[in-house]
Amino acid sequence: MDEKKDSRRDFITKFAPATFWGSLAVWGGSLLKFTMPTLLPQESKKIKLGMPSDFPNGTTKIFEKERVVLFSDNDGLFAISTTCTHLGCVVKWT
């Protein structure tokens, strides 16, 4: 019986600091979550550049600000981002 009482006390003495570290960890984690942006404050990645009829076969149009190049040939109408996937520079379209 005595043993059981002691172990309960032991449990509580160990548990008390554990609640401190536990709550600190949860709180710290929530603080870290705070720094992670969920709303990305940037222009939409969907851009209106014109109607398909504006780009007849054989045209190439570079949109510098939007960093997009639009061209159409026999295979269809293509839109390509000029932002390099490597380090984010702008690729020159020739």
Partner 1 sequence: MSNTEEKNKVPSGLEIFLTNLKHLPQSFKDATVRHGPPSSNRAASQSVFSNLFLHIHSVRTHRYNFKKTFTMGLGVASAASFIILAITGILLMIYYKPSLAEAYNSIKDIHFAVPGGRLIRNIHRWGAHIMVAGVFLHMVRVFMTGSYRHPRQFNWVVGMILFAVTLGLSFTGYLLPWDQLAYWATTIGAQIAGSPVEVTDALGITEIIDIGGMQMRLLLGADIVGEEALVRFYFLHCIFLPLILVTFLGVHFWRIRKDGGMSRPSVITKEMLAGTPIDENAEMAFPTKNKTYGLMCLVKGESNNVKNSVKNTVQSWPNLFNYEMAIFILVLAIMIVLSYVSDAPLKEAANPAVPENPAKAPWYFLGLQELVPYSAFMGGVAIPGLAVLGLMLIPFLDKTRNESGLWFPDKNEKSVFKSTVIFSSIVILATLIFTVNFGWLRNWFPQIPQLIIVLINPGTLITTLFVWWSIRILKNSGSTRLGAMAIFTCFLVGFVILTYFAYQHRGPNWDFYWWPSLWPTH
Counting Cβ atoms within 10 Å, is residue 67 exposed (0-12), middle (13-18) or buried (19+)? middle
Which residue among 9, 16, 37, 46 contacts partner 1 (CB under 8 A)?
A: 37
64 makes contact with partner 1 (CB under 8 A): yes
17 makes contact with partner 1 (CB under 8 A): no
Smallest separation, CB 64 to partner 1 (Å): 5
Task: Output the CA torsion sign for 45, 49, 55, 60.
Answer: negative
Q: What is the DSSP letter of 49?
A: -
Smallest separation, CB 35 to partner 1 (Å): 6
Q: Which residues contribute to the site for partner 1 (CB under 8 A)?
A: 35-37, 40-42, 64-65, 67, 86-90
